[in-house]
Amino acid sequence: MGAGFGDMSASPPAEGWRTPARRRLVYLLVAWIPLEVLAVGALAVRTPHAAQWLRAGLIADLLVVVVVALVLEARRAGGLGALSPANLLRAASLGVVIFAALDRLLGTSALGSALALVALCELSLVGLQVASLGRALRAVRAALARGGADRWWRATEAVEGASSLSRAVVMEACVHAAWLRALRRRPIAPADAAFGATATSSYPSLVVGIIVASALELPAVHLLLSARLGPGHAGTHLAVLALHLYSIAWLLGDRRLLAESAHTVEAGALVLRLGLRASGRVPLGAITKAHRLPPPDPFAPRKRERGLLRVTPLDPPNVRLELAEPITIRTLLGMRRQARTLELYVDEPERLCAALSDGPSS
């Protein structure tokens, strides 16, 4: 957990917020808005007081959005009792900003003299994001200053409690730093006690194939755009080129991060690390069973299993871990997943199973 985030840090959600009844409540509140818009629109068409009906609908939407935002913030914070002033301000700002956007779009002038409040909420929401981003960048700078081969993973861990925008910025920085290391051919330090996942995986080869295909199709795409749009439209061509280059950079960065990461067994725990896709710590005592998976049947229907999380570059998993209790795994953008069963893909599944069987739990 990164230091310095105060009440902005995210603790694991309380189990009470994962009950089916609570989820149905959230779904009902979210579904209310389009149904209410259709009903208000139908009434507005049939009555001469369209503006009043639209104004009433917008006020109802504001209340619904604020309630939904409060529910989501409470789930993120761990319960209603854990809500901080920052959580409440985020929920209120989100509702008012969406309300203002609909009001301006429909031209109902429902806000009237409250435009100053809308501007204040919008500025507050932007200020929260900027402040969180500033704290995140300071935490990243401190993590990178300590050096080491795992400094970029420490940087992502340092901003775990920051806002989604801050985590996205740090993730982008990690990916672009990784593809720069790949282009410079920086060596990857081997780790004998680590369990990698890219030496036998098909994902690195797939990335190379996608990059080659993208490079070959790019001239054809520009010729097709020129034929359809005619001369000019330099902005469109530049946008397509930028999208191709960004995609290639992301693939190279992801491939490099996967190659640099590996799972390890240390200090009585299995430390999971698969690029920026998954990371976590599984105590060996929590592993009730570890066994190798057979090759999957490509024609067999894929069953959905509650509490199952697959940690693999792309290939079918070859190791299955059954846990005595749910474990929190951090995924992309610092999001958290509760897993009761883990299915991993590693280069040496037998060695991993043997290392786990030598621990406290066999």
Q: What residue ranges do the domains of the chain occupy?
A: 6-131, 263-357
- 139 Cβ contact list (under 8 Å, min separation 6): 2, 3, 4, 5, 155, 158, 159, 162
Residue linked to tokens 């579904």: 31
Rounded distance, CA 309 to CA 344, Å? 9
Rounded distance, CA 321 to CA 24, Å? 31
Both tokens of residue 304?
A: 């959905």
Adjacent-strand bridge partners of 331: 278
Tell me: pLDDT of 17 over 70.
no
Average pLDDT over residues 131-141: 82
Both tokens of residue 224?
A: 């097709």
Place 346 in a pLDDT band, splitting at 50, 70 and 90. very high
Tell me: pLDDT of 13 over 60.
no
List pLDDT tens digits, range 226-259. 888 777 778 888 988 899 999 999 999 999 999 9
pTM, full prediction: 0.67
List pLDDT tens digits, range 189-232. 655 568 989 889 999 999 999 999 988 888 888 888 888 877 77
More confident residue, 179 or 361: 179
**Phi-psi group of 263: left, alpha or beta (phi > 0 → left; psi -120 to 50 → alpha; rest → beta):** beta
Average pLDDT over residues 314-323: 92
Place 19 in a pLDDT band, splitting at 50, 70 and 90. low
- From 127, 94, 134, select the one nearest 5 (Cα to Cα): 134
Contact of 282 with 322, CB cutoff 8 Å = no
- From 88, 122, 248, 235, select the one nearest 183 (Cα to Cα): 248
- 55 Cβ contact list (under 8 Å, min separation 6): 108, 110
Cα separations (Å) of 14 from 11, 22, 76, 78? Answer: 9, 12, 9, 5
- For residue 164, the model assigns a pLDDT of 73
Rg (CA), the chain: 25
Rounded distance, CA 69 to CA 74, Å? 8
Average pLDDT, the chain: 76
- For residue 187, the model assigns a pLDDT of 78
Adjacent-strand bridge partners of 195: 263
User: How does DSSP assign 40-72, residue by residue?
Assistant: HHHHHHHSS-HHHHHHHHHHHHHHHHHHHHHHH
3-state secondary structure of 146: coil
